[in-house]
Structure 1
Amino acid sequence: MYRILVPVDGSEPAFRAVQEAVSIASGKKDAEITLIYVSPSPVYFPFYSMVGPSLDADVKQIEEKEGNQMLEDIIRKVSPNASVTFRKKHLYGIAAQEICDYANDTKKDLIVMGNRGMGAFGQVILGSVSNKVLHLAKCPVMIVK
């Protein structure tokens, strides 16, 4: 089985990465694509703790719903044309670290991801997720423009 991990965030580069992964996987018998969405954990936002744990639960519930909806939308958009098995995973934490940990733990053969999902300001402040994954991942990483 050929296992590909595709981190998605709703951006156009991420969708192009999904299309590229489908193209790669279509030629492989029993290929599987896992779409992963990483929400920032509420513990990374200090103002949540000032309001209280109920806000943490509310934010997590909203993130869960929106993240799962996005994953379903992507699968629905590409699956009619794909002869590939799709899986989905929603995690919380620091995106690059969660992506690499998940890829390593589940022994993915390849990570395919967009070159940027956040705006230029976010990249300057937070750093490029794709750049961090490129350096932290133990499996090959393909960056799609």
Structure 2
Amino acid sequence: MNVVSDLIAVNVDYKIDIISQNIAMGEQLLDSVKEAFKDSPVKLTTLYKVGDVAKEIVEKAEKEDVDLIVMGSRGLGVISRTFLGSISHKVINNTDKSVLVVK
């Protein structure tokens, strides 16, 4: 799952461009994961969303009743580097699911 934040504090014109670029990067990332697992017996489903990152992750985990949320300690985008660890912190504090944060 890749979630692109819609909360970017920049000019509206640039915000749309940044979100579009982040969606394109997210799609490339998910495509590379699909490719890596194409011969694996593991069932893989990919998803990208735009919204509040922590909220989207928690909602999806609850909806799918997952056993474990595995996530990185930071995002890939320039803006997300500013919020190092804040998304994983929010997820941990807003779900009763087990969360593994990978550095």
TM-score when scaled to structure 1? 0.55
2:83 aligns with 123
Contact 2:5 2:19 in 1 (8 A): no
Identical amino acids, percent of aligned pairs: 27
- Secondary structure of the structure 1 residue equivalent to 2:32: helix
Within 1, Cα distance between the matches of 2:82 and 2:8? 15
- Secondary structure of the structure 1 residue equivalent to 2:69: strand
1:132 aligns with one of 75, 90, 98: 90
Structure number having the greater helix percentage? 1
Within 2, Cα distance between the matches of 1:115 and 1:46? 24
Within 2, Cα distance between the matches of 1:72 and 1:37? 11
1:86 aligns with 44
Instruction: Provide structure 1 residue ranges, at least 5 long, that are not aligned to the other structure.
Output: 1-35
Aligned-pair distance for 1:46?
4.8
Aligned-pair distance for 1:116?
2.9
Q: 1:20-47, CA deviations, whole angstroms, 9 ceiling, x for partnerless residues? A: xxxxxxxxxxxxxxxx101122x64451
Aligned-pair distance for 1:136?
0.9
Whichever of the two has the greater Rg, that structure is: 1
Aligned-pair distance for 1:139?
1.3
The count of residues paired between Structure 1 and Structure 2 equals 100
Within 2, Cα distance between the matches of 1:44 and 1:115? 19
Q: Which one scores higher on RCO, CA 8 angstroms, separation ≥ 6?
A: 1
Instruction: Provide structure 2 residue ranges, at least 5 long, that are not aligned to the other structure.
Output: none
